[in-house]
Amino acid sequence: MPTPALLISVAALLPLTPLLPVSTAAMRGVASNTAEIPPVVTPPPASAVPPNTPQLPFEKYVLPNGLEVILHEDHRMPEVVVDVWYKVGSKDEVAGRTGFAHLFEHVMFQGTKHVGEDKHFEYLQKAGASNVNGSTSADRTNYFEVVPSNQLELALWLESDRMGFLLDRPGFRETLDNQRDVVKNERRQRVENRPMGLVSKVILEGLYPAQHPYYHEVIGSMEDLSKASVDDVKGFFRTYYAPGDATLTIAGDFDRARTKELVEKYFGPIPAAASAPVRAMPPVPTLDASKRVTMEAKIQQPHLYISYLSPPSFAPGDRELDLIANLLANGKSSRLYRRLVYEMKIAQTVSASEESQKLSSNFEITASPMPGHTVEELLTVIDDELDKLRREPPAPRELERAKNQLESDTIRNLEGLQPRAERLQSYNYLLGDPGFLGEDLRLYRAVDTAAIQRVAAQYLRKEDRVVVTVDPNPDAPIMGRVKK
């Protein structure tokens, strides 16, 4: 479940409707899995799913060139979503070559051999598209458009054309240089000129060793973006943007037989890659000791960030930590909100989340004190509540509330076609089963209070965490800096 710091989209650059928001609890994760890498976890065995559990009907098949196709029909509205996921993200970049995945998210909208400069959006706007976007995370890159049903062929042609003919466009070097500058400007907006924009980098470098795929930010560094050559970028594209490293999901109002013909027509001729990407599985990261980093930034109030390494998406402990985040800080009756904000009145804000990813996740608690109070006061109370959770299990009624909230958020999120396409994609990447929704919800329901206590004791330890505090300083950069 990626955070905004780890999920970058081009929504701000588009003239169309912005990217639909997806809650972390509802999305479950946007990390990728590949045939070349052994999956992090084995999907649990099939089990009886209660009859009232929502399902996402689908058909999945694979073209000879390796492209996975997932079809989800819904004829209630005359619209259709075309959603392409590539199994490439910032985790696939190497030192000195960061930011490539996000750079391509921008380049892919600028035209191909058959689509002129900036014509991609123009064609879709004139066709009545209601939402067009792309985003990059540590684990995957996606592109999608929501169009009227009778414009499905246009959307499939555009997606297939940039998969097969992006590098053949005239003036690719000029496009690359232009989008390199766009990404640099986006970095200035999202990092250099954003309050506490440096915090994400500090946390990642505190949690992961330098050789780990999650050590660097998705957006990359200015230095790496500046020195990336055309050959470097083209090599990255040829390695990762091939049919065998992608999944096409079509959701909405379409004729299945006709849609399969169109998929074959536009994607079938794209050749498979000469070789599959080689992705080595990194060692499971661990923290040998607690780390404390003190920062300062041009802000009004101090901030506190507490981060713990946690299990990958769907690994044992991941669901429990989702529920623990809910118990701690979701709603006015949650433990930390009740104590810090309502009873003691020493915090302005408090939040908790399990940010699930493919290789490793991050459980994070953030808080900001009220004027006249300190982050140390907040940290003391937070540690007290975590100690309670480690010492004794929550009341069954408290856990039931957390389960109900998570399930209702999940089901509410699935009202739209595009979130449903993303859900199918996510399950397919991580577990190889697009239809895992019912079993996923059943496994959440099966978590008991003893498991909550056990997982809290295992992963939320004072000895294994990164604590970052940010103090106000009008002379510091707005993005922040680490105090010497």
Kindly tell me if the per-residue pLDDT of 333 is higher than 60: yes
Compute the distance between CA of residue 29 and CA of residue 25 in angstroms, rounded to an integer. Answer: 9
Higher pLDDT, 475 or 51: 475
Lowest-confidence region among 13-22, 77-86, 385-394, 396-405: 13-22
CATH topology of domain 4-38+53-267: Cytochrome Bc1 Complex; Chain A, domain 1 (3.30.830)
Kindly tell me if the per-residue pLDDT of 27 is higher than 90: no
Higher pLDDT, 116 or 155: 155
Provide the 10 A C-beta neighbour count for residue 459. Answer: 21
Domain boundaries for CATH 3.30.830.10 within the chain: 4-38+53-267, 291-482
**Confidence band for 91, pLDDT divided at 50, 70 and 90:** very high
Residues with Cβ < 8 Å from 477, sequence gap 6 or more?
192, 198, 297, 298
C-alpha torsion sign, points 461, 462, 463, 464: positive
**Confidence band for 7, pLDDT divided at 50, 70 and 90:** low
pTM exceeds 0.75: yes
Return the closest-CA partner of residue 79 out of 250, 251, 253, 249. 253
Residues with Cβ < 8 Å from 216, sequence gap 6 or more?
90, 93, 95, 98, 201, 204
H or E segment to which residue 309 belongs:
strand 303-310
pLDDT tens-digit map of 158-200: 999 999 998 888 888 888 888 888 888 888 888 899 999 999 9
Q: What is the pLDDT at residue 228?
A: 79
Residue 347 φ/ψ, nearest 5 degrees: -125, 140
Compute the distance between CA of residue 38 and CA of residue 23 in angstroms, rounded to an integer. Answer: 28
State the CATH class of domain 291-482: alpha beta
Residue 243 φ/ψ, nearest 5 degrees: -55, -40
Return the closest-CA partner of residue 192 out of 475, 468, 473, 477. 477
Higher pLDDT, 28 or 322: 322
Compute the distance between CA of residue 389 and CA of residue 322 in angstroms, rounded to an integer. Answer: 14
Kindly tell me if the per-residue pLDDT of 44 is higher than 60: no
Q: Provide the residue count of the chain.
A: 484
Compute the distance between CA of residue 476 and CA of residue 234 in angstroms, rounded to an integer. Answer: 39
Provide the 10 A C-beta neighbour count for residue 398. Answer: 17
pLDDT tens-digit map of 251-283: 999 999 999 999 999 999 999 988 888 887 888
The distance from CA 32 to its chain's CA centroid, rounded to whole angstroms, is 10
**Confidence band for 95, pLDDT divided at 50, 70 and 90:** confident
Return the closest-CA partner of residue 156 out of 45, 236, 48, 267. 267
DSSP 435: T
Range 380-406 average pLDDT: 97
